[in-house]
Amino acid sequence: MEQAESFTFSGLMRMAAEATGAGVSFHDEAGLTAQIPALRLGAEQHYHHLPYCQFAKQNGNAPACVKNKNRSVEIARGRGNSFEGQCPFGVWELAQPVRLRGELLGVLYLGGFSGSKPLALMNEKRFSGPWMPRISEEKKAELRRSAAALAELMSLLADRHLRSGKKIAKKKPAEFYLKAMNEWIAAHFHEDLGLEDFASSLGMNPGYLGETLLEETGKSFRERLLEYRLEKAKVFLIAEDPKRVTQIARDCGFSDSNYFSVVFKKSTGLTPRAFAKKHLFGKPKIR
């Protein structure tokens, strides 16, 4: 089973990651990975998934990460060769444009190294992940070779897809995904469901869809779902008996009432009961 995976593009990306020690991911500009079976990727391969990057995103830095990535995509539009840089948090990476017939299909990223700038978040007490190795000229050369090989193979597979008479449909506009997300969350916020379930309803890869939503909104699907659940909880707390906090938590999709209380207080500065009492104060009693 492992041998078979190695000969998928996803498997080759993992092989490149193991061989170079880099984190390897792909920004899909044309929707290739959702339309061409040979180019289907693992969910984590659609975004920067190394522990340090995940730590940065999960601690309020996702908008800065998205902005930096969008900038690299804009740079890639005007060139065919690879280029390097460091993100706002100090991670060095190589960006390799993938092109076909003059069009940008996407950008391969090979990174996860420290460069000349310090790793801005590495000394945070909460981060307990591995230290990132220093990038060297020898490692840069190795990464360029790997990136060029992956890009060439991806272009060949996309070209074969087109020559077989098939087309690559353009990505739907951002408004489509945002509208679909808001409608899905409104219908399912009270259920124990998440991004994979939403992606399944659209027939899409969860990683690709999650990255698309993050790029367009600056927030992850999980963050948007949590915001909606908390807004609904506020309504229920004011309209109902605040003593029913556990039930209200469940009605809003929180299986753990203690977790609900923690995130509610983090968002509002008040516990659920304190919030309810504050907003119920002065309301006329029903006789």
Q: What's the pLDDT tens digit per position in 87-141?
A: 888 899 999 999 998 889 999 999 999 888 777 766 665 777 788 899 999 999 9
* Mean pLDDT value of segment 63-71: 81
Query: According to the model, what pLDDT value does residue 170 have?
Result: 66
Rounded Cα distance between 202 and 65, Å, is: 26
For 174-221, the fitting CATH number among 1.10.10, 1.20.120, 1.10.3470, 2.60.40 is 1.10.10
Topology adopted by domain 2-163 = Beta-Lactamase (3.30.450)
| Cβ contact 24:13 at 8 Å | yes
Strand partners, 86: 92
Tokens 């990505």 — which residue?
171
Outline where the chain has alpha helix (H).
Answer: 2-6, 9-20, 32-35, 51-56, 62-77, 137-163, 174-188, 195-202, 206-217, 221-239, 245-251, 257-268, 272-280
Amino acid at 170: K
Query: According to the model, what pLDDT value does residue 171 have?
Result: 66
pLDDT tier, 285 (very low <50, low <70, confident <90, very high otherwise): very low
Amino acid at 142: E
| pLDDT mean across residues, the chain | 84
Distance of CA 83 to the CA centre of its chain: 22
Rounded Cα distance between 210 and 197, Å, is: 12
Q: Say if strands 83-86 and 23-28 run parallel, antiparallel, or are unpaired.
A: unpaired
State the DSSP string of 75-138.
Answer: HHHT-SS-EEEE-TTSEEEEEEEEEETTEEEEEEEEEEEE-SS--TTTT-TT--SPPPPBP-HH
In tens, the pLDDT along 194-233 reads 888 888 777 677 777 887 888 777 788 999 999 999 999 9
Domain boundaries, given as residue ranges, for the chain: 2-163, 174-221, 222-280
Whether the pTM exceeds 0.85: the reply is no
What is the dotted CATH code of the domain comprising 222-280? Answer: 1.10.10.60
In tens, the pLDDT along 261-279 reads 999 999 999 999 899 888 7
Please tell me if the domain spanning 174-221 has the same topology as the one spanning 222-280.
yes
pLDDT at position 257 over 60: yes
